[in-house]
């Protein structure tokens, strides 16, 4: 309930019911130089308060006379341990008008709602406050411990730290790597960022270029790439398939937000693991470390992390947690918002436009799921962008767009449905015939065309290939999503 009442620095206070909670509040207000009147039914307690030079009087807070005695007070705190007495006091005080700001003590959510209905502007539950405070202390203590451990591993580096993201890194992976490199530099350790695959998405390329992020692209066969690096960190790297097993270097650090099976998906003997699926981005986790290390936050790092959080949460529209919001609020004043706007509005290449147009034309929609064939393509990264754009269609929560290039079927998928893990869906559908990588909100598949159709790509059989791909991929996808393909385009 809100009455439009404001509390000024000159407010006069009344505390009705002065047990341990009321006493603590009174001490704090008096230390701040506030004028406080205390009313309590226990005359011995009132006498003790007076001996401490507090303005206290005896009275039963259930009685109308008590409400009238504090009618000149701007703020009334009703803090008795007797919730029924508190309800009566709230009703009496509010019955005199709406000018006073009332804070009342509850014992549980139900009594809290009842006190609010009676006119309390704000309700506190001491048990909930204590539990929340304990959890905050626990989180703070764990973060301090983890930061110290991370610092020990990084500072033990004698040569250089290699920071590795997942293949074809997205903004969250890039930003997390940038932040970890900033932490390493703060600890006087040289670090470089690496990634496997490509960075074809225009928005990601704009992100890297505008922030002048130095990243080195590697092929899986680059076995000597990490010579000269004696510490290796994976950030936002965990996937659903063998990508982590293929990483042959000893790994020292893993920081990620994806919910994964540690025993199955990770290398053995990792010295440092911080996986927090309760946070929606790895950028959020790295922001917490930035705060714990008390780094002087540079504009480019802040901009990267803020964009990483916004991109991973679809600008706070998907699975956003309080941790994501508080991290973004911390980063906001340090970020360059002109740069963010440029990153979020990159120009679309003709190839991407063609793929998107083809995907729109050939889409099939079943419920909130959309699957589309983009045909023969030149730029497989255009599939990723098409899948993301189609996710904006009204009523669509999951998209999958596939096309053929280089004797391979490439498929990109996106989902904002919290009940569906698109990475698992693709794994279930194509694990036996292709390579699947991804997680709950985005994933991709590469399928050798010969394995799938038994036909090689040439001009004479293009239509046959498209037909076979169309039928098999759509059916497998919709079946894995739990719906049946009708084999026709959506309207």
Buried b (16+ CB within 10 A) or exposed e, 391-427: beeeebbbbbbbbbbeebbbbbbbbbbeebbbbbbbb
Q: Which residue blocks in 198-295 are alpha helix, DSSP H?
A: 202-210, 262-265, 282-293
What is the reported pLDDT for 16?
A: 96
Tens of pLDDT along the chain (491 residues) come to: 334 444 444 578 999 999 888 888 999 898 888 899 999 999 999 999 999 889 999 999 999 999 999 999 999 999 999 999 999 999 999 999 888 999 999 988 899 999 999 999 999 988 877 777 777 777 778 888 999 999 999 999 999 999 998 877 888 999 999 999 999 999 999 999 998 877 766 777 888 888 888 998 887 677 677 888 999 999 987 654 444 444 566 889 989 987 665 555 555 678 898 988 888 899 999 999 999 999 888 999 999 999 999 888 877 776 678 888 889 999 999 999 888 888 776 566 777 888 888 888 889 899 899 999 888 888 887 888 888 888 888 889 999 999 888 888 899 999 888 788 888 888 888 888 888 877 778 888 888 876 655 555 555 566 777 777 777 788 888 888 887 666 544 43
Residue 77: its pLDDT value, please? 94
**Where does residue 117 fall: left (phi above 0), alpha (psi -120 to 50 degrees), or beta otherwise?**
alpha
Q: Which two tokens stand for residue 5?
A: 């009442």
Q: How many CA atoms lie within 13 A of 76 on its CB side?
A: 31
Query: Tokens 């529209």 — which residue?
Result: 317
Domains of the chain by start residue, with CATH: 12-124 (3.40.50.720), 136-344 (3.90.1640.10), 350-481 (3.10.310.40)
The dihedrals phi and psi of 264, each to the nearest 5 degrees, come to: -90, -40
Q: What pLDDT does residue 76 have?
A: 94
Give the position of tokens 């730290």: 161
Burial class (CB in 10 A: 0-12, 13-18, 19+), 368: middle
pLDDT of residue 265: 54
DSSP assignment letter at 460: G
Angle, vertex CA 104, rays to CA 5 and CA 61, nearest 5 = 110
| pTM, full prediction | 0.61
Contact 226, 232 (CB under 8 A): yes
DSSP per residue over 263-279, as a string? Answer: HHHS-TT-SEEEE-TTS
Cα–Cα distance list, 296 to 140, 247, 331 (Å): 20, 33, 12
- Terminal-to-terminal C-alpha distance of the chain: 47
* pLDDT score, position 50: 92
Which residues lie below 8 Å from residue 399, measured CB to CB, with a gap of 6+? Answer: 369, 370, 371, 372, 387, 388, 390, 391, 413, 414, 415
Residue 247 is predicted with a pLDDT of: 56
């Amino acid at each position: 309930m809100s009455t439009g009442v404001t509390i000024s620095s000159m407010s006069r206070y009344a505390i009705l019911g002065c047990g341990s909670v009321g006493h603590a509040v009174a001490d704090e207000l008096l230390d701040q130089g506030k004028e406080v009147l205390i009313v309590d039914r226990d005359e011995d307690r009132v006498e003790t308060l007076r001996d401490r030079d507090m303005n206290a009087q005896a009275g039963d807070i259930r009685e109308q006379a008590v409400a009238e005695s504090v009618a000149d007070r701007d703020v009334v705190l009703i803090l008795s341990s007797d919730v029924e007495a508190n309800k009566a006091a709230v009703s009496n005080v509010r019955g005199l008008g709406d000018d006073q700001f009332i804070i009342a003590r509850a014992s549980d959510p139900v009594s809290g709602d009842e006190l609010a209905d009676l006119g309390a502007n704000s309700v506190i539950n001491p048990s909930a406050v204590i539990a929340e405070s304990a959890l905050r202390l626990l989180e703070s203590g764990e973060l301090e411990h983890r930061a110290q451990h991370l610092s020990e591993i990084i500072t033990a580096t004698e040569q250089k730290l290699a920071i590795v993201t997942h293949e074809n890194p997205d903004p969250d992976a890039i930003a997390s790597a940038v932040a970890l490199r900033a932490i390493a530099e703060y600890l006087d350790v040289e670090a470089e960022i690496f990634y496997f695959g490509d960075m074809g998405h225009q928005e990601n390329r704009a992100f890297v270029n505008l922030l002048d992020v130095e990243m080195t692209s590697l092929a899986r066969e680059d076995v000597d790439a990490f010579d000269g690096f004696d510490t290796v960190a994976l950030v936002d790297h965990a996937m659903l398939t063998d990508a982590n097993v293929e990483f042959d270097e000893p790994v020292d650090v893993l920081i990620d937000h994806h919910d994964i099976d540690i025993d199955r998906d990770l290398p053995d003997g990792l010295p440092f693991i911080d996986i927090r699926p309760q946070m929606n981005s790895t950028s959020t986790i790295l922001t917490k470390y930035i705060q714990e290390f008390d780094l002087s936050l540079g504009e480019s790092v802040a901009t990267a992390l803020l964009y990483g959080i916004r991109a991973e949460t679809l600008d706070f529209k998907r699975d956003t947690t309080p941790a994501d919001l508080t991290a973004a609020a911390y980063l906001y004043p340090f970020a360059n918002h002109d740069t963010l706007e440029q990153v979020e509005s990159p120009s679309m290449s003709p190839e991407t436009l063609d793929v998107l147009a083809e995907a729109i034309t050939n889409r099939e929609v079943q419920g909130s799921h959309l699957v589309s064939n983009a045909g023969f393509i030149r730029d497989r990264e255009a599939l990723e962008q098409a899948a993301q754009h189609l996710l904006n269609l009204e009523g669509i929560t999951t998209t999958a767009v596939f096309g053929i290039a280089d004797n391979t079927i490439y498929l990109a998928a996106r989902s904002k449905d919290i009940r569906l893990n698109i990475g698992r869906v693709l794994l279930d559908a194509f694990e036996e015939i292709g390579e699947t990588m991804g997680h709950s909100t985005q994933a991709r598949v590469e399928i050798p065309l010969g394995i799938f159709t038994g036909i090689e790509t040439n001009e004479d059989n293009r239509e046959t290939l498209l037909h076979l791909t169309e039928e098999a991929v759509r059916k497998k996808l919709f079946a894995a999503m739990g719906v049946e393909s009708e084999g026709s385009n959506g309207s």
